[in-house]
Amino acid sequence: MNQQSIYKSILVTSAILIFGMLHSPLQADETYARKGAEKDDSGHVRIPNQVDENLKIVYQVSDDKLKDGVSRALFYARKLLDMYNENGISDDKIQYHLVFHSDATNALVNDKTRERLEAAGGATNPNLGILAELIERGVSIELCESSMKQHDVESKDLLPDVATVRGAFPRIISLQHLGHAYVKFE
């Protein structure tokens, strides 16, 4: 092979590599992920929601911390729904599951049980209103039966419309297999 053939080969290989980098699936995915993006007045890129229907979300909730007087998980679940609503996505286009376990059990029980468990925020459950609102908006509130057993909580101790699942992790795994985006709430 002569020197001219070697240069020609290097040039063709380089052109193929450059073309491949410019039109790679990674580049296409990045372009798609920024579809509809616009720059704001300060020059920062604002990327809009890419999915506006058939949203599937599962939150894993394991703590009993409060935000503005209610469960942080419930507070941010409502905030996420409100954000979607503000962007024209109605609640009926969202499949939303909050799977509670561990210390988060306290958020879903009646006052007598909260007192016994020494729940954050005191014996009176501060979550009644926000739970009712989220359930009305179609959110599935689910509690791990293993955590109930660990905390000596029975079905009669739960707030209305709280569903139970055999185990939080098998439920979360099942929902992920069904296409739900997983959010670990901490």
Q: What is the pLDDT of residues 44-94, one digit of tens each?
A: 888 888 888 889 999 999 999 999 999 999 999 999 999 999 999 999 999
Q: Strand pairing of 66-67 and 140-144?
A: unpaired
Q: Strand pairing of 70-71 and 66-67?
A: antiparallel
- In a shared domain, residues 99 and 158: yes
- In a shared domain, residues 42 and 60: no
- In a shared domain, residues 65 and 15: no
Q: The pTM is what? A: 0.79
- In a shared domain, residues 99 and 147: yes
- Other CB atoms within a 10 A radius of the CB of residue 50 amount to 11
What's the domain range around 180?
Answer: 55-185
Q: What is the pLDDT of residues 129-155, one digit of tens each?
A: 999 999 999 999 999 999 999 999 999
DSSP states of 47-72:
PPPS--SSEEEEEEE----EETTEEH
- In a shared domain, residues 10 and 94: no
Residue 73: give its domain's CATH number: 3.40.1260.10
Judge whether 66 and 103 are in contact, CB under 8 Å.
no
**What's the structural domain count of the chain?**
2
